[in-house]
Amino acid sequence: MSSTHAKTTMKTLRGLDTRIVGNKQQPLAINYRLHSVDKEWKIYDLVIEHISVVNNYRSQFDRIIARSSSAELLGR
């Protein structure tokens, strides 16, 4: 990775750690992953209790494609 790319990535990617606290439940950790697009921050992933929503969907899609086809995935 070039140093220019690393600087660009640091300027355009961020994470925001939050915790949701209920009265009788353990706090729920949520990390919002953000990317800067045209000077606006956009959420591109949520990590809930160390589980990425994007990676979870990617795994599901990979299983469907491995068992059948991309057409099957798009047909769902």
Strand order across the 13-20 sheet? 13-20, 28-37, 40-48, 51-52
- Spell out the domain ranges in the chain: 3-75
Q: Indicate yes or no: pTM above 0.85.
A: no
CA angle 44, 10, 55 (to 5 degrees): 30
Q: Which CATH class is domain 3-75?
A: alpha beta
Encode pLDDT of 18-61 as tens digits.
Answer: 999 988 889 999 999 999 999 899 999 999 999 999 999 999 99
